[in-house]
Structure 1
Amino acid sequence: MSADTNQSIIQSDIHHVFHSWSVQNQLNPLAFKTGKGCVLIDYDGKEYLDFSSQLVNTNVGHQHPKVIEGIIQQAQELCTISPAHANKARGLAAQKILEVAPKGFKKIFFTNAGADAIENAIRMARLFTGRRKVLSAYRSYHGNTGAAISATGDTRRFNNEYAQDHVHFFGPYLYRSEFWSSTEQEECERALHHLRRIVECENPANIACILLESIPGTAGVFVPPKGYVQGVRQLCDEFGIMLILDEVMVGFGRTGKWFAQEHYEGVTPDLITFAKGVNSGYIPVGGVIISDAISQYFDDKYFPGGLTYSGHPLAMASIVANITAMQEEKMVENAEKMGEILAIGLKKLVQKHAIIGEVRGIGLFWAIELVSNPEQKTKFTLAEMNKVKQLCLDNGLLPFIAENRIHVAPPLIVTEAQIHQALAIYDTVLSQMA
């Protein structure tokens, strides 16, 4: 039997696997054999520094021994069980999540991923309020199932809009302001005014929830201006609307806090959705963190939702091991510390390269927005971004490319030396592009 190579694995994949978000005859995937920490290794032995965390989920890095061991131990005891039965691993996982979650939350509903977490959070909000409409931002991504993709604002929803009662609004984004703002304060005030008008025009009595990514991720890493999320919370309170914060991408340490919503003083949502970083993507899992009020509502009312693999033992064990490893190794604290170093380095790149329109972010969650004309803010084309990606790969860095941006999101265990290595590669790539 011949040895596996990058080409043999890629050819087998292309011939037999139907890929998501793709034109099938234009596929050109990479092939990775293994990884360790912040590094991935392909079948030809080449190493890549992973500054994408895949889809911003491998928070503890690749092949973390404690998480692998947790999965193995659970597999040896009990691989699977119906969600109707009490499950020791599920109870422990819920306790670990609530241990690091904000106060005011009582129970966890487990799902298979982030998209169905969104589905069930919307379901809970609609049942609790007796209302139907869901408001969410144009610049957002919430998943590719029925209500989740309709709640999504970006163009991927266009061929998938089958769910009803979804309304979109513009969130704050000063660099390309929809509100002719010149300061963060103006952007915040005008975005909140815009949202209030949407609520009024849609009739508050019809609106079940406002769904927000705590920090919009795939859409561009938009850290909300000071006071914005507080303003949304106040608007929800005024009209009896549930606030759902989507922490799928930014939860579990990504921003230097356990949850990104902790950056917004005084804000407690009604529901929090999570996935990705809760177990670093080692096994598919997601869920909804449910406030006391909504949890108590269903104490004597039927909840019409469920999943065959809700609280799957192997996924639950990976959650327990993942959060435990993060606590023991102080990964959230490292994300905050390394994030400060990363921020300084990225801002230096802005000063050096005119093709950087803006860098923005927090913790280990950043975006470099590339423009061919800084005055006009003309976005890099797809062809230019494909070249950026290839140059990063040629230099041994695996990037996360979205539209005209490089998203910078290494695992939370990243070292200062690895950050400087990545910054040097970005510098080289941007110099070649210029």
Structure 2
Amino acid sequence: MNLDDLVFHPWTVQGPREVPTLIGGSGSHVFDADGRRYLDFSSQLVFTNLGHQHPRIVAAIKEQADRLCTLAPGLASDVRGEAARLIVEVAPEHLGHVLFTTGGTEAIEHAVRMARLYTGRPKVLAAYRSYHGSTSTSIHLTGDPRRWASDTGAAGAVHFFGPFLYRSAFGSRTPEEECERALAHLGQVILLEGPSTIAGLVLESVIGSSGVIVPPPGYLRGVRELCDRHGIVYIADEVMVGFCRTGAWFGVDHDGVAPDLLAFAKGVNSGYVPLGGVLVSDAIYDMFTKRPYPAGMTYSGHPLACAAAVGAITAMHEEDTAAAAARLGADVLGPALRKLAENHESVGDVRGIGGLWSLELVRDRQTKEPLVPAGASPADNAPMVAVAKACLKRGLLPLVQGNRVNVAPPLNVTDTDAAAGLAILDEALSVADAYLS
């Protein structure tokens, strides 16, 4: 009996699967039951920022487990407070408090709830190319096809086009044009929806699983200005890109802006124990010094998860992970992926920053027709499945989403391992090229 068959798996058709059973890991590699090594070019779902079995994180969890494994959220905890201190210290200005959750989806849910309570308004704006989670509010805010099956159209979510020069909705030819036109479009959406009805705007600081789209310089500053002008709470979704993934502690740091609320998870402790949270601005925090916040979670600020965060953030400081990620993108991944694009007709675009990159695969570079359509059926998705299998066969764990192969290794991956992974990806892309003939 395959025990994996007893598990109900998210985001997939149920039934027997052709995936390796992984039982161990170290650094940028994981191992299956037969001892075969796989190079993790996905950081799982872009969360093992410090790789697998990092000794400082493992030691922190073990030490906390020996002292106190769990504690109700209403009681004071030394490790919970220390985790909050370390997070606040690296956060943008005026984000002085942390509501801990067990993951990113919960963080978005609570950030939206805070925005609505703070403003007394119902609507929330979100971009079309986005992913914010799979619970009720967060899936309605999600802008890509993962929303379709659950969208009731009744959650107060309003979508807009963010900047995306490769597939510009505005006919732009330069990053500057795209920035200007995307902000003008967003301003129009706000006016047409009615500023007095909009509680918040939730935006991934770098679009993650919906395309790895880096905003042009000035765009996030423009969003901040629009929110200030209309009294809208700016919620930065940093679940995927926070904690050094982009080469800075947070994605908003690249544009020098501070949101009102910032949702985080994943990289905060490399995913070793489930943890997320919301960084809360001083103004919103002050409102809840006069009234209780009407929500909570049994495992908010779980001691083992917070201990993992203390270990991870300490290691990020010691290893200068932000600088390492910036170098990884500028000197290793970016140049190599652009070279791959020159050699493979199926690659239509290369995008990324720091330790998060994407190859967008197309049938025709001129028309930009995707290799597989959005929301593709299993039959239509065959080319991307073939690419993923080609990677696995060669010992590479890929991150394939839609018509994209995303590249997101641990931020402390060695140059040698990165080169090995890129060589495997080079071979796998030949499989994609074969679908063009």
What's the TM-score once normalised by structure 1's chain length? 0.95
Residue 338 of structure 1 contacts residue 415 of structure 1 at CA under 8 Å; is this kept in 2? no
Deviation, structure 1 residue 28: 3.1
Unaligned runs of 5+ in 2: 373-380
Q: What is the alpha-carbon distance in structure 2 between the residues aligned to residue 369 and residue 348 of structure 1?
A: 14
| Secondary structure of residue in 2 paired with 1:316 | helix
- C-alpha contact (below 8 Å) 2:386/2:431 kept by paired residues: no
**TM-score for the superposition, normalised by structure 2:** 0.95
Distance 1:387 1:159 in 2: 25
Whole-Å separation in 1 of the counterparts to 2:177 and 2:92: 30
Q: Output the CA distance in 2 between the equivalents of 1:332 and 1:31.
A: 32
Segment of structure 1 superposing worse, 382-391 or 324-333: 324-333
Match of 1:5 in 2: none
SS at match of 1:25: coil
Counterpart residue identity of residue 262, structure 2? I
Q: How does 1:17-416 map to 2 (within 5 A)?
A: 17-25=7-15, 27-161=17-151, 164-265=155-256, 267-340=257-330, 341-381=332-372, 382-416=381-415
Distance (Å, rounded) in 2 between the aligned partners of 1:315 and 1:419:
29
Partners of 2:149 and 2:424 in 1: CA distance? 37
What do residues 172-198 of structure 1 show as CA deviations (whole Å, max 9, x unaligned)?
111111112222122111111111111
SS where residue 288 of structure 1 aligns? strand
- Residue type of the alignment partner of 2:321: M
Paired with 2:272 and 2:173, the residues of 1 have a C-alpha distance of 43
Q: Distance in 1 between matches of 2:19 and 2:296?
A: 34
C-alpha deviation, 1:276, in angstroms: 0.2
Identity rate of aligned residues, in percent? Answer: 52
Provide the C-alpha distance between the structure 1 equivalents of 2:95 and 2:238, rounded to a whole number of angstroms: 15
Contact 2:97–2:279 (8 Å) recurs in 1? yes
Once residues 129 and 348 of structure 1 are traced to their aligned partners in structure 2, the CA distance between those partners, rounded to angstroms, is: 49
Matched residues in 2 for 1:28 and 1:141: separation?
Answer: 26
| 8 Å contact kept, 1:350–1:356 | yes
Report the AA paired with residue 297 of structure 1.
M
Deviation, structure 1 residue 214: 0.4
Tell me which moved more, 162-171 or 35-44. Answer: 162-171
In the alignment, structure 1 segments of 5+ residues that lack a partner are 1-7
Cα distance in 1 between the residues matched to 2:350 and 2:365: 13
Partner of 2:430: 431
> SS where residue 283 of structure 1 aligns?
coil
Q: In structure 2, do the counterparts of structure 1 residues 373 and 261 end up closer, same or farther at CA, with 3 Å as the change threshold?
A: same
What whole-Å deviation, never above 9, does each CA across 1:292-311 have from its counterpart, x for those lacking one? 11111211122101000001
The residue matched to 2:149 in structure 1 has which SS? coil
Code of the residue aligned with 2:112 in structure 1: it is I
Q: Which amino acid aligns with 1:273?
A: A
Partner AA of 1:368 in structure 2: L
Counterpart-to-counterpart distance in 1, 2:240 and 2:36:
28
Moved more, 189-198 or 403-412: 189-198
State the partner residue of 2:376: none
Over residues 244-290 of structure 1, what are the superposed CA-to-partner deviations in whole Å (9 max), with x where a residue is unaligned?
Answer: 0000000001011111110013x110000000000011011100001
Deviation of 1:27 after TM superposition, in Å, equals 3.3
Give me the whole-angstrom Cα distance separating, in 1, the residues matched to 2:119 and 2:18: 47
Q: How far off is 1:366 after superposition?
A: 0.4
Output the CA distance in 1 between the equivalents of 2:311 and 2:382.
41
Rounded Cα–Cα distance in structure 2 between residues aligned with 1:87 and 1:161: 39
Find the residue that maps to 1:96 and give its secondary structure: helix
What root-mean-square deviation, in Å, do the aligned CA atoms of Structure 1 and Structure 2 show?
Answer: 1.2
Superposition deviation, residue 80 in structure 1:
0.9
* Contact map agreement 1:90 1:311 (CA 8 A) in 2: yes
